[in-house]
Structure 1
Amino acid sequence: MARNTTRPTSRDVAQAAGVSQAAVSLVLGDKWRGRVSETTAQRVREAARELGYRPNLAARNLRLGRTRTVLLVVPALTNEFFAGVYTGAARVAARHGFGVVLYPSPAGIGPARDPFASAQAALDGVIASSMAADALDEIRGDQLPLVMLDSDPKGSPGAATVNLDIADGVRQIADHLLTLGHRRYLHLAADVASWTFEVRARELATRLHTVPGTTIRTVHAPLTIEDALTTTETALTTPGPRPTALVCDDDKLAAGAYKAIRRLGLTVPDDISVTGLDDLALATAIDPELTTVRLDAERVGERGMQALLAVLDGRTPDAGDIPVELVVRGSTAPPNPS
């Protein structure tokens, strides 16, 4: 006997659940609240699941003008921070019946090819890290709502920005090291053209220069452990007084700095204190454990998705930066008087 390959329809679901087709449309379109009961909604979902019913999304999207799909553009998938951002965004999206497509910008930063045949037709909006902003030229054009993460709120191309309070995190690092007595600093800065790293450099210099007798030298390295190792080794062997504190733009750079310091026969923190920024898993995997600033990546993703939903609904997104926290561990100590 030939197998019946007819796809179930919304009428089939309505008959199985004992409700009208209009009720099925409301429930499966996530518009049932206040219009049908929770019990009815559950009955419809169970009937659809048992029948294997899948709504005709193309037709539905033509009617509603929504695909309920959001693109999250990040510079790389190998960084656990952006994995956390995705987790937070997807959690909020799921509660509102949206899906999140994660798209890494090729080579970390730079132009990206459109991952869809027509992005404007396939997406409701975009959430993007400022570190991957160039990828938006091909993906978004000027047609889709956009929320930017870690982006200059005064010059962002997005309808809204969601930022961590990076400036406060850097001030917390500077105040911690100044209180310990450090006056000679080396800043290992990320060699990345991004607003968030510009803030780190500016706030660090501003805070340190308020204390007389304080000096700071900045060197730049790509965001890899090997590049951080090479750059730090070169900086620490340059003639002149050796810095007593090394401030790194993120934890990966700090891990490379650790290797350079040990290669030179020095120790952390006896010869030089080291700080990071991110509180990645490697912050507690290296020895001594790293003093760093904890960034709540999942909260960034949650706020980013909430902001985009607000924009789509014509509401004003919540304002205010996300707080950050200095976590003091064994990599910082008062400078060695010798």
Structure 2
Amino acid sequence: MTRPTSRDVATAAGVSQATVSLVLGDKWRGRVSERTATLVREAATELGYRPNLAARNLRLGSTRTALLVVPALTNEFFARVYTGAARVAADHGFGVVLYPSPDGTGPARDPFASARAALDGVIASSMAADALAAIGGDDLPLVMLDSDPTSTGAAAHVNLAMADGVRQICAHLRGHGHRDILHLASAIDSWTFEVRAETLAALLDPTTRLRTVRAELTVEAARTAMETALAAPHDRPTAIVCDDDILAAGACKAARRLGLRIPEDLSVTGFDDLALATAVEPELTTVHLPAEQVGEQGMTALLSVLEGTPWTAPDIPVDLIVRDSSGPAPTP
């Protein structure tokens, strides 16, 4: 069943769409009669008409602008999120302002004199959540990406099936006989990385040894951390599970500097499936995250909230892309 429009209400009441807008926008007094206003309200009730708040805001002078808050512009994943959000926004006459937290993660300066006057809503990555505190728009609709679905304060959540991505990695490595795994974890305190760590620990059976090393999200930080972790020949893992592809690239560099072959001596897996995953040699086994779809759903969720429609959706599926950086565990 199609949703009734203001034109349907106008037809049912025998008035113009402009009159419907005046009455339902409570601007009819002195411009149309009481009887006409009553007819419009009754027609709207009978049809089950609900005004499109986003469209009404346009007529009332709203900016039709959404703010997308991300931790960094240099990360390809968030560039793709923006592309997806901007595509859906353009289809609905909206614009998207991209706002990176200046320090990657952490506090940020408020870029607006009044966020409420400049914006219709906010879409934010959980990795940049600290930046939200500086934006004076506490009463703006907020859609959180890649965040704890049980948390309060957001009108909607859009998540990837992160735990399933980890499950696919574990099944892949277990199938290749790996029983000594090192988790190269992001040093950023964020829900998305907590899910990866908790799921990895829960899925590995008691016969598998799991160690964790943390590093900042840079190739060099990961390389340095892995050179230390892999230094002792008698105590090396057979596989490294990395929280993202950048960390995986650093792990691969460390392995090469130590004379280790990938995947013959050491398997390495990533997360994201950035362009970097096929730029390294050997190409990286990694979990593909459909970033553009995240942006599309984020903007769709915000539009639904602006229209007064509750928005829920299942987690976006992810897929393990098996390439040459992973293989059978080396024979002891």
TM-score (norm 1): 0.80
Residue 240 of structure 1: how far off its partner (Å):
5.1
Correspondence list, 1:261-280, <5 A: 261-280=255-274
Aligned to 1:54: none
Q: Does 1:244 align with 2:257?
A: no
Residue 65 of structure 1: how far off its partner (Å):
5.6
CA contact (8 A) 1:145 1:312 kept: yes
Give the count of matched residue pairs.
281
Q: Does 1:331 align with 2:288?
A: no
Aligned to 1:286: 280
User: How far apart, CA to CA, are the structure 1 residues paired with 2:152 and 2:257?
Assistant: 42
User: How far apart, CA to CA, are the structure 2 residues paired with 1:135 and 1:242?
Assistant: 39
Aligned to 1:85: 81
Aligned to 1:108: 104
Residue 114 of structure 1: how far off its partner (Å):
1.3
Residue 141 of structure 1: how far off its partner (Å):
3.8
> Which consecutive residues of structure 1, in runs of 5 or more, have no partner in the other structure?
1-21, 26-59
Correspondence list, 1:183-262, <5 A: 183-208=179-204, 211-238=205-232, 241-262=235-256
Q: Does 1:97 align with 2:93?
A: yes
The alignment-based identity, stated in percent, is: 71
Cα deviation code 1:240-273 (max 9, x no counterpart): 5210000000000000001000111111101000
CA contact (8 A) 2:58 2:64 kept: no
Give the letter aligned to residue 90 of structure 1.
Answer: A
CA contact (8 A) 1:270 1:335 kept: yes
CA contact (8 A) 2:120 2:141 kept: yes
Please, what is the CA RMSD of the aligned residues? 1.9
User: How far apart, CA to CA, are the structure 2 residues paired with 1:176 and 1:201?
Assistant: 17
SS at 2:296's partner residue? Answer: helix
Cα deviation code 1:126-146 (max 9, x no counterpart): 000000001111214421000
Give the direction of change, closer, same or farther, for the CA distance of 1:96–1:159 in structure 2 (3 Å limit).
Answer: same
Aligned to 2:125: 129
User: How far apart, CA to CA, are the structure 2 residues paired with 1:65 and 1:151?
Assistant: 32
Q: Does 1:159 align with 2:160?
A: no
User: How far apart, CA to CA, are the structure 1 residues paired with 2:57 and 2:300?
Assistant: 21
Give the letter aligned to residue 298 of structure 1.
Answer: E
SS at 1:309's partner residue? Answer: helix
User: How far apart, CA to CA, are the structure 2 residues paired with 1:284 and 1:303?
Assistant: 27
CA contact (8 A) 2:264 2:330 kept: yes
Correspondence list, 1:289-328, <5 A: 289-328=283-322
Q: Does 1:172 align with 2:165?
A: no
TM-score (norm 2): 0.81
Correspondence list, 1:50-69, <5 A: 64=60, 66-69=62-65
SS at 1:277's partner residue? Answer: strand
User: How far apart, CA to CA, are the structure 1 residues paired with 2:115 and 2:106?
Assistant: 18
Q: Does 1:150 align with 2:161?
A: no
CA contact (8 A) 1:126 1:140 kept: no
User: How far apart, CA to CA, are the structure 1 residues paired with 2:304 and 2:234?
Assistant: 54
